[in-house]
Amino acid sequence: MTESTTPTPSPTTPAPVPKPVAKPSLPEPKFNTKAGRLLTDTRYWPTERWKNPWRIPSYQRAAILLGVIVLGGLLLGAVVGELSSWGNQIFNALSRFVAQKGGTSEVSLFVWDLIKVLIVLHIVLINGLFMIWWERKISAHIQTRLGPIYVGGWHGWAQTIADGIKLLLKEDVVPGMADSLIHRLAPVVVIVPAILAFAPVSFGKELAAANLDMGILYIFAVASISVIGIVMAGWASGNKYSLLGGLRSAAQLVSYELPRSFSVVPVLMLAGSLSLPVIAQAQTGYWFHVIPKWYIFYPFVGQIGFIIFLIASVAETNRIPFDIPEAESELVAGFHT
């Protein structure tokens, strides 16, 4: 009888050890020394390569160009101020032209008011386009980024125009559970008061869309209507998160509206009027032929009021560090959800 032998197990081969995955690294920055720009896209500014970037010719040219832009803006303001002093002459010429065509004085007043409204509207809209691009560039350089750089050529100056065209071409998507009428009406309620608030602002002696005796009160009253539009947008979306975001944004706007209103009270008391032209006229002249008689230079009262107004205005516009209502770093972006 043969003995049964158990087969010896074959030695098992060890499993191959997986190679460690290499961590992705940022590309090595490459530079065009002549132009002073990056050739490889990266979010980090290479200060370790260029300790003093102001030695770069492009930086020096940009600083000179920035000074030219600031001086040009001041010169443009002076030109607008001089042109506004000719308002009576332009109005008289317009009245004579309308009278020759058989029109009445009411027609002359209507056409003149329409011209002023169009001028102020263009100033506000063009200023908005420029300031959005300006804010994006300044904040990008503060955060060691480049910001808009391609659209339009020079530092991406046409980026805001391209963004506006993109938004106009987008489809108006309305959620299924939303109130479509209020959902479409909410942006109008937000934007229209923001533009109407510039009506009593004097861009010159005779260059104001509406010369109101209570201009300051009108601005604060009209600007507060935008809060209603934000609540409407949150409620009409049919989303609880959007509603909570709208209420949170409205609460912040209302809470900072009070200190901003109180910060203007010293100016009203010093000027003795609520009219913006009267307040501007009260600040004409110089102390010691050098210091302008602006209320901001009044000891203590002017500086404290300016700081409170500045902080409250930054909070009203939801800028950093008061950008909690927009919640760009959260998954639920406030009333934008």
Amino acid 42: pLDDT: 44
CB crowding 78-106: b at 16 or more within 10 Å, else e = eeeeebbeebeeebeebbeebeeeeeeee
CA distance 51 to 167: 40
CA distance 111 to 168: 30
- Say what angle helices 159-169 and 105-142 make with each other, to 10 degrees: 110
CA distance 252 to 314: 11
CA distance 27 to 82: 55
Amino acid 43: pLDDT: 42
Q: 292 pairs with which residues across the strands?
A: 286
What share of residues in the chain are helix, strand, coil (percent, to 5)? 60, 0, 40
Amino acid 92: pLDDT: 76
Token pair for 12: 């098992």
CA distance 287 to 158: 42
Amino acid 23: pLDDT: 60
Q: 287 pairs with which residues across the strands?
A: 291
Per-residue pLDDT of 248-285, as tens digits, reads 888 888 888 888 888 898 888 888 888 888 888 888 88
CA distance 46 to 29: 7
Q: How many CB atoms lie within 10 A of CB 228?
A: 14
Nearest CA among 274, 310, 280 for reference residue 293: 280
CA distance 119 to 208: 9
248 contacts 233 by C-beta, under 8 angstroms? no
Read off the DSSP letter of residue 330: S
CA distance 119 to 204: 11
Q: How many CA atoms, within 13 angstroms, populate the side-chain half-sphere of residue 64?
A: 6
Q: Where are the beta strands (DSSP E) in the chain?
A: 31-32, 37-38, 286-287, 291-292
* Residue extents of the structural domains in the chain: 59-170, 176-337
Q: Which residue has the tokens 């391609």?
A: 150
293 contacts 286 by C-beta, under 8 angstroms? yes
Amino acid 35: pLDDT: 52
Amino acid 44: pLDDT: 43
CA distance 202 to 280: 9
Nearest CA among 281, 121, 295 for reference residue 204: 281
Q: How many CB atoms lie within 10 A of CB 77?
A: 12
Residues (pLDDT < 50) of the chain are: 39-46, 335
Structure pTM? 0.67
Q: How many CB atoms lie within 10 A of CB 47?
A: 10
Our measurement of the distance from residue 322's CA atom to the centroid of its chain's CA atoms, rounded to an integer in Å, reads 14
Amino acid 84: pLDDT: 64
CA distance 156 to 140: 12
Read off the DSSP letter of residue 292: E
